[in-house]
């Protein structure tokens, strides 16, 4: 089973409500936010060491890529990004200086597009770093 078949299988019976204009399956979810002239875009994406980047990838590029993946989907929906949450999973032997450089790359791109990083989560990962970004934006 490929990724798209799995997504189709998992999303066909997801709960929804009246605020959902576009649900799972598009670049971003589109939600009604109570304003007649705009809608909320909601996106999440992840990068995983060994799949999306190698241990030798410059750390600033890892942070940049993690956010860029979400930004591109907001742009694909003609939206303006607004705020992000960052979840990072780290092995027990992580290098704090490397993680700070990952955040340097992420923060530089966030500043370029006026995206506020408003929080997130950190957790332990068995062997590899992973980063998940949740991003909101608005579309007219």
Residues spanned by the domain of 121: 16-139
Distance of alpha carbon 132 from alpha carbon 52, whole angstroms: 12
Residue 57 domain-assigned?
yes
Residue 9: predicted pLDDT: 83
Residue 134 domain-assigned?
yes
Distance of alpha carbon 83 from alpha carbon 116, whole angstroms: 5
Q: Give the pLDDT confidence of 50-90 residue by residue, as tens digits.
A: 999 999 999 999 999 999 999 999 999 999 999 999 999 99
Number of domains in the chain: 1
Distance of alpha carbon 63 from alpha carbon 24, whole angstroms: 25
Smallest CA-to-CA distance from 59 within 19, 14, 8, 99 is with 99
Residue 65 domain-assigned?
yes
Residue 89 domain-assigned?
yes
Q: What pTM was computed for the model?
A: 0.87
Residue 48: predicted pLDDT: 97
CATH number at residue 107: 3.30.1330.10
Residue 10 domain-assigned?
no
């Amino acid at each position: 089973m490929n990724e798209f078949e799995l997504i189709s299988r998992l999303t066909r019976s997801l709960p929804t409500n009246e605020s959902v204009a576009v649900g799972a399956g598009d670049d971003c979810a589109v939600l009604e936010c109570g304003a007649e002239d705009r809608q909320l875009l909601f996106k999440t994406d992840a990068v995983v060491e060994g799949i999306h980047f190698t241990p030798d990838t410059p750390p600033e590029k890892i942070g940049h890529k993690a956010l860029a993946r979400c930004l591109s989907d907001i742009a694909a929906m003609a939206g303006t990004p607004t705020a992000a949450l960052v979840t990072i999973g780290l092995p027990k032997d992580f290098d704090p200086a490397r993680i700070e450089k990952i955040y340097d790359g992420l923060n530089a791109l966030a500043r370029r597009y006026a995206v506020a990083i408003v929080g997130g989560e950190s957790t332990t990962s068995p062997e590899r770093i992973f980063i998940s970004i949740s991003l909101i934006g608005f579309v007219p």
